[in-house]
Amino acid sequence: MPDSSARKILVTSALPYANGSLHLGHLLEMVQTDIWVRFQKSRGHDCLYVCADDAHGTAIMLTAEKRGITPEQQIARIKAEHEQDAAGFHIGFDNYYSTHTDENRYWSEEIYRRLHANGHIASRAIVQAFDPEKELFLADRFIKGTCPRCKTPDQYGDNCEACGATYTPADLIDPVSAISGARPVPKESIHFFFTLPALADMLQAWIDSGTLQPQIANKLREWTDAGLQEWDISRDAPYFGFEIPGEPGKYFYVWLDAPIGYIASFQNLCDRSGHDFNSYWQADAEAELYHFIGKDIINFHGLFWPAMLHSAGLRTPTAIYVHGFLTVNGTKMSKSRGTFINAGTYLQHLDAEYLRYYFAAKLSGGVDDIDLNLEDFVQRVNADVVGKIVNIASRCAGFLRKGFDNTTAVSCAEPALLQAFLDEGETIATAYEQREFSRAIRAIVALADRANQYIDDKKPWVLAKEAGREQEVHAICSMGINLFRVLMTYLKPVLPAMAERSEAFLRCSLDWTALDGPLLGHQLAPFQPLLTRVDPAAVEALLSACSEPA
């Protein structure tokens, strides 16, 4: 019989851009999302995780041209790499798709039509910089010139990396197209706009509804208080994307169809799995919807996206969960320092679960930046996971194998201690639910300390040398195994591969819903190493591999 308390949850993380490799900043978000999803599944909820590659835009078109391939070939190549790297980090997508798909074209056109029918699309002529050689309108990042303030050459069209000034491309001294080197010329074109100010009241209610983290709601209020502007949702040909219905040569701006990719990926999953699409996306849907994103894209997800959904008669998110940026050794990731680390390069040198654990140990429900301190990374993984948690299983398994046919005792030696571990489960579950992963990890490590202290106090290695103390050794080591089982149940969302090896050793499920008492008279499999220590030399090799050649 289905559990009437089971929740229906749809979860997404931001779509990686199909123009380059995944790096550890992407992995921070994917790991955070994946831990939360795995926790929900372990608790017995119907939780689905969908994502996709963001596959449109001028940058992808230009990269493909430079490589001498089609944009379709470029996005297919990157998607295969993204999927391989995500799988290497045990990211359990229920569907990983692309925005360059029939489903996304359908929903982009359908939502646009609904916005248009509601009077929420406007059009007017605007003047933009135009590359006369490439015959291409230029976004600010494709224009370079000398900074008007500090006179540093070769700066982008919107800000100076040398002095931090912000400006428009028109302010640049001697501006040139970064694509062809030609001097841009002003040119007029008709553009289409989403009339965001018309939805100001709806957005005010949404921001005040308590569904957003307080810092994020405050940031969005800064924008609404300053006065909402209409959002330019069109780009001119040539452009790699979807043509706007009835408007030849006009294309949806990549940020219009990127979040719609969440809907498209889920539609694709529903068509294959039998899930009911409407019960997740209609305005009255009872299912929960959560977006995990970085703080650099909150305007798209916190203003444009809910306003579009509302106008189109679809549901808005239950919540948007925003995290901070990733720094490495206290600073922004840097190729020259060897700290700009791609996912694939990391996997060539280190176990994915080291990083999953470290991220979990640092992540909170807030939007603070997360620092990957590599010295702390080595110490924490080795001390906590290998030195404390794996240690419990390995030290007890040896005694059970040698003297007791790998079978646990038929009674529980310390029922009160086991109950204390089980009772801590709800506190840990609440921390996971609130994305306070660091709090959950602290509670789990504190339990591991108690388990190790119990074994240290009982000293089974001493008792094993004394005749007639066999049953005490059996009871102590069986207790240790049962405590380890509880700990690994709590850690399974963070360390799924280690949990799988532990399930093979324990011969039982480590899902939260299976945690209903001790393993009594239970035969274990032969113990195999669950996780090895982080080798500092491997970390050095990783940094060396990521360093730019001198």
pLDDT at 4 over 60: no
pLDDT at 105 over 60: yes
pLDDT at 357 over 60: yes
Average pLDDT over residues 261-277: 97
Lookup result for tokens 């002003």: 186
**Pick the residue with more confidence: 4 or 316?**
316
Residues 368-387: tens digit of each pLDDT: 999 999 999 999 999 999 99
Average pLDDT in the chain: 95
pLDDT score at 319: 97
Residue 550 binned pLDDT confidence (cut-offs 50, 70, 90): very low
Residue 529 burial (10 A CB sphere; 0-12, 13-18, 19+): exposed
pLDDT score at 231: 96
| DSSP secondary structure letters along 328-350 | ETTEE--TTTT---BHHHHHHHS
pLDDT score at 548: 66
Residue 142 binned pLDDT confidence (cut-offs 50, 70, 90): confident
Residues 210-233: tens digit of each pLDDT: 999 999 999 999 999 999 999 999
pLDDT score at 549: 61
Measure the CA dihedral 379/385/389/395, to 10°: -70
pLDDT score at 141: 79
pLDDT at 2 over 50: no
Cα–Cα distances (Å) from 114 to 225, 289, 356, 456, in that order, read: 27, 22, 42, 67
- Contact (CB, 8 A) for 54 and 82: no
Residues 527-546: tens digit of each pLDDT: 999 999 999 999 999 999 99
Residues 384-397: tens digit of each pLDDT: 999 999 999 999 99
pLDDT score at 337: 80
Residue 135 binned pLDDT confidence (cut-offs 50, 70, 90): confident
Residues 238-256: tens digit of each pLDDT: 999 999 999 999 999 999 9
Average pLDDT over residues 275-299: 96
Residues 167-209: tens digit of each pLDDT: 888 889 999 988 899 999 999 999 999 999 999 999 999 999 9
pLDDT score at 179: 86
Average pLDDT over residues 309-330: 97
3-state secondary structure of 73: helix
pLDDT score at 1: 31
pLDDT score at 18: 96
pLDDT at 498 over 50: yes
**Pick the residue with more confidence: 495 or 548?**
495
Residues 445-483: tens digit of each pLDDT: 999 999 999 999 999 999 999 999 999 999 999 999 999
Average pLDDT over residues 277-287: 97
Alpha helices in 414-533 (DSSP H): 415-423, 425-433, 437-458, 460-463, 470-491, 496-506
Rounded CA separation 494/356 (Å): 6
